[in-house]
Amino acid sequence: MNTRRLARLIIWVMLMGLVAGCSVAPRDREPPPSEQGDLTSDPQRPLKGGEAQVPEVVVALVSDANAASSAGDHEQAAVRLERAIRIAPRNAALWQNLAVVRYRQERYAQAESLALKSNSLTADAGLKRQNWLLVAEARRAMGDEAGAREAEAEAKRFAERAAGR
Amino acid sequence: MAKSTKRRSTKKGSRGSPTRRSAKGRRLPGFWRWSVRLALSGLVVLAAYTAYLDFRITSEFEGKRWAIPARVYARPLELYNGLQLSADNLEREIEALDYARQAGASTPGSYDRRGDTFTLHSRAFEFWDGSEPARRIRLNVGGGEVSALSQPGAAQDPALVRLDPARIGSIYPAKREDRVLVQLGEVPPTLVAGLIAVEDHHFFDHYGLSFTGIARALVANIRAGRVVQGGSTLTQQLVKNFFLTQDRTLWRKANEAVMAVLLELHYDKEEILEAYLNEVYLAQDGSRAIHGFGLASRFYFAKPLQQLDLAEQALLIGMVKGPSYYNPRSNPGRAKDRRDLVLSEMVETGVIDEDAAWRARSSGLGVVPRGRTAVTNYPAFMDLVKRHLRRDYRYEDLSTEGLRIFTTFAPHVQQATERALSRHLERWDEGIEGAAVMVNVDDGEVGAVVGGRDPRYDGFNRALDAHRPIGSLIKPAIYLTALSRPDTYGLGTVLEDKPVTLEDRSGNRWSPRNYDDAFHGQVPLWEALAKSYNVPAVRLGLDLGLPAVTETLVELGGEPPRRVYPSMLLGALPQSPLQVARIYETIASGGFRVPLRAVRGVTTAEGEPLNRYELAVERAFSPESVYLLTTAMQRVVSEGTAQGLARWIPDHVQAAGKTGTTDDTRDSWFAGFTGNRLGVVWVGRDKNGRTGLTGSSGAMQIWGEAFGALDLKPLEPVPPEDIERIWVQSNTGQLAVAGCEGAVELPYVRGHQPADTAPCAKRRGALDRAADWVKGLFE
């Protein structure tokens, strides 16, 4: 599988299940069955979210946000996530989740900024890679192909870093 | 809305019916005919006149009844184990919430405290995103951190509890801005019952007029030979207050009586009572009349009506009869007698029991010395809220539709800021003013705004409107411009601190000097910022180019100067404290512009969301350059001009900041941040005179004391990928190694380390190679 396709696949899976997945407990993390095989065969398991765990206190908020977002109520999801961010403002996973919600709302510029903000709060290569993939997709959606490629190159860099560890 | 508007009648044509002369000697049928005609036309005139009165009174009533001011709320406090919050600050939050201290905290809106253990009983509240039930929770705040959060009696202890938000003010219709409108449900029941007992016993039974009351008054007046009693019902009094004049003619009385009856026909008793409570004249404050119990409560007791105890309620009820005669400030004896009489009346009518009355009688009047009639305790913050909302709402809607406004206001942060500011300003010269803004670093929420020495004064809001030269607060913009060019500048780059002469636009020569009046030769970039040297900053700014520095300033969120002069590099650039907060927020949040927000959202009176002001960020600078700048700004605090902060802020917080002083100490500034909070303080005189205070001896003192009272998270930015730490020799800017003399460890952008290597590092390198060679021999 070429890198580009893999990246697309990963971002797709992320967008489907990230809000619950990357961050909180392993519970509602169920990617679409057809992708299950590819996902597990991917040694980097993007949904793990590395060490960036969501603090216990906001787990319920994030899971509510996930439910709302899955039901298409992205505004409610954002409200919950903002509340979680107020409680744990330095948690990169929360900012990433908000970035995903904005992406789902097709608000790509905010999605990109929030993913970059998430990156600025973490040293976790896995999380950074996800963020760069999200940035790449957001840029592509805005018609910035060159920017998207740059972001993909960054993602690749962190993929190697994460694998090397 | 106004059902009366269609009934506009013609202006009254004549006064009364003209039955002056009877036609003598005329024939009877003619007389009768004329009488009938007269009577009929009289009736028509009377009907028209009544309709006119009806129109007047209902339009007056409707106009006031429909104006429900917006309610403004603080941010709700969220409690969870691990939250940093001292017992004192929790107590501040509870005060703002008006929870009553009560053993066991058994009713919603109460609390109990034993040492560091608090029991809180929150009120149910309908939030934007769902409702919170009333909950009785227990928690410990020993060690400045919430622990053992529990909900006695519940199956499971809550992980997160959101308390109801404190109400911090209202937005009133412009014409009636000086009124604290209350709704009947909010008024203590004893006050309402007492008022009826004293002023209008049969209020719930009559139709606007009370004939027994009139008869009683008539008897009293005839006995005295003049008007001593006015048997007016509450309804009549309300009418009188609507059209307040000194006129006490019989004609006027009759009009009032008719209008009272008309009011009763249109509205129910509760509506009339509520209007009365908001309308009745209760005091005089200079040239301004104090209307309504809500404002009178603030005026006399400096607290909301809901908080008045029985004695205070009785005092206000008593004053209805004669606001100046029974004025408790000028006639305390009379006021007390009147209050006690009211209490007796309340016992007699069964509103309270004798026990309660006895306790109330034995208490003092409780009147505060000077009338405070500000409708909010936080006028500067409310000002920011109104300006924020005015972008999206018409003022009429804000003040009349009963909207609910959820702000970012943090009561204990405001309290700490106010206290620090007032305490220091009192110590300094009279006439020195100050202002402060407090913001959350990552989401840009404004937690506190203080607009001047008296934080309750609703006047000139310096935090928003005092645009003053920012002095050295400009320097981070200069250094950030440099650090964004890592191929040329790093933290260890040596700058020249040698005399320089410039020419301003009109050709005058100008030589910037350092505050200590010395030149320091070669100084590393980070130290030039930490010690706030002027000369290297000006030289650097000129090398970078004024347009580049201006662009950085704008990217940071600052207001650009209309024309760019070199003096801008020393901060000849006026900004308000709020604007400075915006600039520094971009640095504090790691190079992301974050709009400062005072409002989270607005809902209708019924709780339906109208607007949400969401969290948004925008990257403005590379993470590396902002990381480097932040490191240098931390050195301002650890070894530069803000070292004095150590008195309040522990080292491990690693706060970053910048002092600012303008010519002749006219302005004293400090802007600084920790991992979670950003604060900006300005001190100066309104007329721009000298203060004798520098940034560190003035504004920084206030900042330090305020931050010292708050929970602080250490400032530990995550180093971006491309940052590495290297050793640099201070006086040469050359690459060094640990142990070289005068070498400091500094973060650098990877691949941009200094090109030259210091001799000592070369020697070390040779030694290391030698050591390796020796080691190799033995292996």
pLDDT in tens, A31-41: 332 222 222 22
**So what's the pLDDT on residue B227?**
56
Tell if the CB–CB gap between B440 and A89 is shorter than 8 Å.
Answer: yes
Q: Which residues of B touch A80 (CB under 8 A)?
A: 129
DSSP three-state, residue B723: strand
CA Rg value for chain B: 35
Chain A and chain B share a number of CB contacts under 8 A equal to: 73
Q: State mean pLDDT over B13-31.
A: 52
Residues in chain B with CB shorter than 8 Å from the CB of A57 are 80-82, 159-160
Which candidate in B718, B722, B723 is best for mutational testing of the A interface (most A CBs within 10 A)?
B718
Q: How many other CB atoms are found less than 10 A from the CB of residue B520? A: 17
Where is mean pLDDT largest: A89-98, B36-45, B288-297? A89-98
Please indicate whether, in this complex, the C-beta atoms of B80 and A87 are within 8 angstroms of each other: yes
Selecting among B60, B86, B122, B199, the annotated active-site residue is B199
| More confident site: B408 or B771 | B408
Q: Which of B324, B364, B368, B360 is nearest to B341 (CA)?
A: B360
Written out in words, the top-level CATH class of the domain with range B70-168+378-467+593-619+643-719 is alpha beta
Which tens digit of pLDDT belongs to each residue from A106-119?
Answer: 999 999 999 999 99
B99 to B92, B182, B376: CA distances (angstroms): 11, 19, 18
Could you tell me if B139 and B147 are in contact, meaning their C-beta atoms sit under 8 angstroms apart? yes
Query: Can you say whether the dihedral through the CA atoms of B637, B641, B644, B645 is positive or negative?
Result: negative
Q: Which of residues 477 through 516 in chain B touch A, CB cutoff 8 A?
A: none
With 60 as the cut, is the pLDDT of residue A28 above it? no
Binned at pLDDT 50, 70 and 90, residue B302 comes out as confident
Q: Which of B775, B644, B635, B648 is nearest to B697 (CA)?
A: B644
The full DSSP string for B116-146 is TEEEEEPPPEEETTEEE---EEEEE-GGGB-
Chain B residues in contact with A122 by the CB 8 A cut-off are 718
Judged by a CB distance cut-off of 8 A, whether residue B622 touches chain A is no
Q: What is the pLDDT of residue B225?
A: 66
pLDDT tens across B133-146, in order? 999 999 999 999 99
Chain B, window 698-717: residues with a beta carbon less than 8 angstroms from a chain A beta carbon: 713, 717
CB contact under 8 A, B592 and A113: yes
Identify all chain B residues contacting A120, using CB atoms and an 8 Å cutoff.
590-592, 623, 717-718, 720
**What stretch(es) of chain B map to CATH 3.40.710.10?**
70-168+378-467+593-619+643-719
Report the top-level CATH class of B178-361. mainly alpha
Q: Confidence band (pLDDT; 50, 70, 90) for B576? A: very high
Closest Cα of chain A to B159: distance in Å? 6
Q: Which residues of A touch B128 (CB under 8 A)?
A: 79
**Structure confidence at residue B15 (pLDDT):** 42
Q: Tell if the CB–CB gap between B445 and A86 is shorter than 8 Å.
A: yes
Specify the pLDDT at position B245. Answer: 64
Q: Residue B574 has what DSSP assignment?
A: E
Quote the tokens at residue B361. Answer: 């009688």
Q: In 3D, which of A95, A162, A86 has the Cα closest to residue A134? A: A95
Structure confidence at residue B635 (pLDDT): 98
Instruction: Please name the residues between 112 and 141 in chain B that touch chain A, using a CB distance below 8 Å.
Output: 128-129
Residue A58 CB burial class (10 angstroms; 0-12, 13-18, ≥19): buried
- pLDDT in the model for residue B5: 37
Whether the pLDDT of residue B497 is over 70: the answer is yes
Contact B442/A89, CB-based, under 8 Å? yes
Evaluate if residue B221 carries a pLDDT over 90.
no
CB contact under 8 Å between B615 and A79, yes or no, is no
Q: Are B164 and B124 in contact (CB under 8 A)?
A: yes
pLDDT at B565: 87
Least confident window among A3-17, B212-226, B267-281, B607-621: A3-17
Whether residues B129 and A58 touch (CB distance < 8 A) is answered with no
Q: How far is B718 from chain A (nearest CA, A)?
A: 6
Q: Is A51 on the interface with B (CB under 8 A)?
A: no
pLDDT at B244 (0 to 100): 62
Contact B571, B469 (CB under 8 A): yes
Kindly write down the DSSP assignment for every residue of B361-393, as one continuous string. HTS-----SS----S-S-HHHHHHHHHHHHTTS
Please give the average per-residue pLDDT across B234-247, as a whole number.
Answer: 78
Q: Is pLDDT above 80 for B505?
A: no
Average pLDDT over residues B531-537: 96
Pairing of strands B618-619, B592-593: antiparallel
In which band, very low, low, confident or very high, does the pLDDT at B399 lie, cut at 50, 70 and 90?
confident
B767 touches chain A (CB under 8 A): no
List pLDDT tens digits, range A140-164.
Answer: 999 999 999 999 999 999 998 877 7
For residue B740, pLDDT beyond 50: yes
Contact A57 B159 (CB under 8 A): yes
In whole angstroms, give the CA distance from residue B668 to residue B659.
8
- The model's pLDDT over B303-360, given as tens digits with 9 standing for 90+, comes to 788 889 999 999 999 999 889 899 998 899 999 999 999 999 999 999 999 999 999 9
What is the spatial distance between Cα B403 and Cα B387, in angstroms, rounded to a whole number?
A: 16
The mean pLDDT value for B609-632 works out to 95
The label of the residue with tokens 């900006």 reads: B680
By residue count, chain B amounts to: 779
Mutate to test the interface with B, among A62, A105, A120 (most CBs of B within 10 A): A120
Comma-separated ranges of CATH 1.10.3810.10 domains in chain B: 178-361
Specify whether domain A3-44+52-164 bears CATH 3.10.180.10: no
Q: Residues A54, A23: contact at Cβ < 8 Å?
A: yes
Residue A17, pLDDT > 60, answer no
What is the overall mean pLDDT for chain B?
88
Asked if the ipTM is above 0.85, the reply is no
CB B150, CB B138: distance < 8 Å: yes
Say what the pTM is. 0.79
pLDDT given for residue B773 in this prediction: 67
Among A97, A127, A100, A122, smallest CA distance to A111 is for A100
B741 touches chain A (CB under 8 A): no
Task: Convert the pLDDT of each residue in A57-103 to its tens digit.
Answer: 899 999 999 999 999 999 999 999 999 999 999 999 999 999 999 99
Percent with pLDDT over 90 in chain B = 58
Top residue of A79, A105, A135, A160 to mutate, by most chain B CBs within 10 Å, is A79
Under the banding of pLDDT at 50, 70 and 90, the label for residue A133 is very high
- The reply to whether residue A75 touches residue B159, judged by beta carbons under 8 angstroms, is no
| B chain contacts of residue A98, beta-carbon cutoff 8 Å | 615
| Contact criterion met (CB below 8 Å) for A52 and A93 | yes
Known catalytic membership, residue B199: yes
Asked about B532 being catalytic, the answer comes back as: no
pLDDT digits (tens, 9 = 90+) for B93-105: 999 998 888 899 9
Looking up tokens 């030039």 gives B528
Q: What is the dihedral sign for C-alpha B433, B439, B444, B447?
A: negative
The mean-pLDDT minimum among B162-166, B203-207, B406-410, B474-478 falls in: B203-207
In the DSSP assignment, the letter for residue A116 is H
Catalytically annotated residue among B110, B170, B472, B576: B472
* Count of CA atoms in the C-beta half-sphere (13 A) of B571: 28
* pLDDT for residue B16 is more than 50: no
Q: Is the pLDDT of residue B770 over 80?
A: no
Which of B617, B676, B713 shows the shortest C-beta gap to A113? Answer: B617
Give residue B571's pLDDT: 92
